Homo-oligomer: A and B are copies of this chain.
Amino acid sequence: MTSQKRDYSRGSLAAAAGVNLETIRFYEKIGLMPDPPRAPNGYRTYGHEHLKRLVFIRRGRELGFTNAEIGNLLEMVDGVYACDDVKRLALANAGVIAEKIEDLAKMKSALDAIAAQCSGGETPECAIIDRLLEE
């Protein structure tokens, strides 16, 4: 067990969660993070539960969920959720990612192919330009 700080300012929460300072305010605006309690001076104060939530959001983003999807996941977390629904969302996401990978792979092989045809000198003939201008 490591000791856990219970209170965070906006800056320290951002650092602890590994997100940008302003991102927290942005998540607050779009409803992913709650309006936190304020210190007498108006400063936001956060606790460990906020850190968990923010790390959840960050990890979700890293897994390719959109903010809207993370909103859905958080609703499930906040309420009762069926594992089923979560799994469906995750698999749908994996499918979308697979498609993106395929598209990118096509893009890359097209690029590699035309770059390979390109002599690369100082000449004004270029296979890449030609290819893009093709009728």
- A contact set with B: CB distance below 8 Å: 52, 56, 59-60, 62-64, 73, 76-77, 80-84, 86-87, 90-91, 93-94, 97-98, 100-101, 104-105, 107-108, 110-112, 114-115, 118-129, 131-133, 135
Contacts and interface: CB of A to CB of B under 8 A. Distances in A.
A97 B110 CA distance: 11
Given A52-B133, A97-B104, 4 more contacts: A59-B132, A60-B132, A90-B114, A101-B104
B125 A83 contact: yes
B56 A86 contact: no
A122 B90 contact: no
Q: How many copies are assembled?
A: 2
A91 B112 CA distance: 7
A111 B124 contact: no
Contact of A93 (B83, B111, B118): B111
Contacts of A63: 107, 110-111
